[in-house]
Amino acid sequence: MEKQLYDTIIRGGTVVHSQGTGPADIGILDGKIRAVADRIDVRAESEIDATGLLVLPGGVDTHCHIEQVSGAGLLNADTFETATRSAAMGGTTTVVSFAAQHPGHKMATVVKDYAALARKGALIDHAFHMIVSDTSNGNLEHDIPALIAEGHRSIKIFTTYDKVRQDDKSILDILSVAKDHGALVCFHAENDGLIRHMTEKLIAEGKTAARYHAASHPRAAEIEAIDRMCRFAEFTGARIMIFHVSTREGVAIIRDAIARGVPVQAETCPHYLFMTSDILNQPRAERFLCSPPQRTADDQAALWDGLSDETITLVTSDHAPYRMDETGKFANGREAPFNRIANGMPGLETRMPLMFDAMVTKGRMSLEHFVFVTATAPARAFGLRHKGQIAPGFDADLALWDKDLSYTYKANDLSDNVGYNPFEGTTVTGLPVTVLSRGKCVIRRRVLEGTPGQGRWLPME
C-alpha cells in the first residue's frame, strides 16, 4: 500500500508561519509539520477544518513552577497533569518548569526525580531549569556539567530567598561553569539585604498585612540585582536571562547592557503588564502576592516599550500555584504575616489569551509579535529547536484560535488545581479552541482530549 503523505491535514486557516501570515493548509506526518502550502490536494485520515480560525504555533511557557517543593518546603498545588492540561487549555504546548535542588541534595538525583514526575503526568512536552542551591559535594564539578551535556542547558539562580540564595562568589562560579559547558543562567534578581531590611522594619512597625508585601520588595532591590547580574554576565561572558522584569529602571539597565554587547535576555509576565500594586488593597490579597511584586502604571508602560523594542523578548507565566487554604497560602495560618505567605499565582492558562487580547485584539502590537513573545522567542532562548514556529521539520504543536470569541474570567474557572483565577472579572477576546501536541489533539473545541504521560522531555540544544 502507498505510504500516506500526511496523517493529519489542517485546512483553510489563516496561518502565522515562518514566512509570513496568510491562508494555508498544513500537512502533518508522525507528529511533525511536513508541508505548509496554499492548498494540499491529497487527503489524510484526519482532517481538521480551520476555516475562520487563526493557526498559530502552540505557546511555549518557559517559566512555570510545577509539582515543585519550595525552599520553605511547601508543595505546589499542581501536578504535571493538572498544570499541563491547564496550559493546553490556554493554547500552550511546551512548558519549562524547575528541578529544584535543596541544599544537601545531588543535582543529578533532583533532575531524575522531577523528570519521572513529568514523564508520568505531562500532557505536553516539557524541559527543566536546574535550580542550583548547593554547589558543593561534586555538584558544580560533576553533576551540573554532566546534566548540561545531557540537554539540561538552563540553570536558575536566586539572589534572594533563604536556603536557595547564592552569594556573588558562588554566582560567578556557576556562571563560569555555564559558559564553559554551554548553559544559559536565569536569575531571580532581587537584592536580598534590601528585602530583609524592609521586611524586618515593616514587621517591627506592626505592618504585617498581605498588602505590605509590595513595600517589603522595594524597586531598588530589583534594580540593584539586575544591574549586578548584567555586570557579572559582562565580566564572565556567560549568557544570562533576567526573569520577571517588573520595573522601568530594570528595563533600562537591560537595554543599556544589550547595547554594550552583554549576552542578556529578559522576560516579563502578565501580572506585571496587567496588574499594579493597587491590587494588594483588594480583599484576599494573598491571591496576588508574588515576587517581585506588581508595580505602577508607569512601570507597565516601560515594560510594553521594552517588548516593543525587543529589550524584553519573552512573556512567560511564572505559574506558581498555591491554593487559598492551609495547603498553600495559609500554611502558616490565616493570620500569617506577609513574609510567611507563599508567593505566586496561577498563570499557565491565562497567559496566552491575556496577551492575545492586549496585543492583537486591542491592536497594541502585531499578531506576529504576539507569536514571537509567547512561542518563538522562548523556544529559541532555551534551544527548543523544534518548537515555537510553523514550518516543515517543526513539531506539529499548533493552536487554532477564534479571534472573535470573548470570555470573562470567573472566580474559579481554570483547569489547574489552584482554586482561583487571579484575573477574575477580566474579559478577553480571542481564545484557543483546538490545540495539538505533536499532531494529536490535546484540546478539541475547548474539550480536553489529551492523556497524562503523552508529553515528552525535550533536550535543550
Chain residues in the site for ligand DUC (CB under 6 A): 65, 188, 290-291, 318, 320, 343-344
- Closer residue to ligand DUC in complex, CB, 98/370: 98
- Closer residue to Zn ion in complex, CB, 33/233: 233
What does the chain come to in residues? 461
User: Does position 217 bind Zn ion by CB under 5 A?
Assistant: no
User: Does position 440 bind Zn ion by CB under 5 A?
Assistant: no
- Closer residue to ligand DUC in complex, CB, 291/415: 291
> Cell triple for residue 209?
498585612
Indicate which of ligand DUC, Zn ion, none lies near residue 60 (CB less than 5 to 8 Å, by partner kind): none
Cβ at position 243, least distance to Zn ion in Å: 5
- Closer residue to ligand DUC in complex, CB, 279/390: 279
Interface pattern 269-308 for Zn ion (x via CB under 5 A):
----------------------------------------
- Closer residue to ligand DUC in complex, CB, 6/322: 322
Cβ at position 320, least distance to ligand DUC in Å: 3
- Closer residue to Zn ion in complex, CB, 322/401: 322
d(CA 5, CA 28): 8
Cβ at position 442, least distance to ligand DUC in Å: 25
Indicate which of Zn ion, ligand DUC, none lies near residue 34 (CB less than 5 to 8 Å, by partner kind): none
Cβ at position 70, least distance to ligand DUC in Å: 8
- Closer residue to Zn ion in complex, CB, 254/431: 254
- Closer residue to ligand DUC in complex, CB, 50/290: 290
User: Does position 318 bind Zn ion by CB under 5 A?
Assistant: yes
User: Does position 387 bind Zn ion by CB under 5 A?
Assistant: no
Cβ at position 271, least distance to ligand DUC in Å: 8
Q: For 109, list phi and psi in degrees, rounded to 5.
A: -70, -40
User: Does position 81 bind Zn ion by CB under 5 A?
Assistant: no
Indicate which of Zn ion, ligand DUC, none lies near residue 124 (CB less than 5 to 8 Å, by partner kind): none
Cβ at position 136, least distance to ligand DUC in Å: 24
Q: Binding to Zn ion (CB under 5 A): which residues in 141-200?
A: 188
Cβ at position 187, least distance to Zn ion in Å: 8
- Closer residue to Zn ion in complex, CB, 71/392: 71
Cβ at position 292, least distance to Zn ion in Å: 8
The 3-state secondary structure of the chain, one letter per residue: CCCCCCCEEEEEEEEEECCEEEEEEEEEECCEEEEEECCCCCCCCEEEECCCCEEEECEEECCECCCCECCCCCECCCCHHHHHHHHHHCCEEEEEEEEECCCCCCHHHHHHHHHHHHHHHCCCEEEEEEECCCCCCCHHHHHHHHHHHHCCCEEEEECCCCCCECCHHHHHHHHHHHHHHCCEEEEECCCHHHHHHHHHHHHHCCCCCHHHHHHHCCHHHHHHHHHHHHHHHHHHCCCEEECCCCCHHHHHHHHHHHHCCCCEEEEECHHHHHCEHHHHHCCCHHHHCCCCCCECHHHHHHHHHHHHCCCCCEECCCECCCCCCCCCCCCCCCCCCHHHCCCCECCCCCHHHHHHHHHHHCCCCCHHHHHHHHHHHHHHHCCCCCCCCCCCCCECCEEEEEEEEEEECCCCCCCCCCCCCCCCCCEEEEEEEEEEECCEEEEECCEECCCCCCCCECCCC
Indicate which of Zn ion, ligand DUC, none lies near residue 343 (CB less than 5 to 8 Å, by partner kind): ligand DUC
Cβ at position 327, least distance to ligand DUC in Å: 16
Count interface residues toward Zn ion (CB under 5 A).
2
Cβ at position 335, least distance to ligand DUC in Å: 21
Cα–Cα nearest to 327, from 400, 418, 240, 235: 418
Indicate which of ligand DUC, Zn ion, none lies near residue 389 (CB less than 5 to 8 Å, by partner kind): none
Q: For 143, list phi and psi in degrees, rounded to 5.
A: -60, -50
Which residues are CB-neighbours of 229 under 8 A, at least 6 positions away?
159, 171, 187, 189, 240, 242, 264
- Closer residue to ligand DUC in complex, CB, 190/395: 190
User: Does position 67 bind Zn ion by CB under 5 A?
Assistant: no
Binding site for Zn ion (CB under 5 A): 188, 318
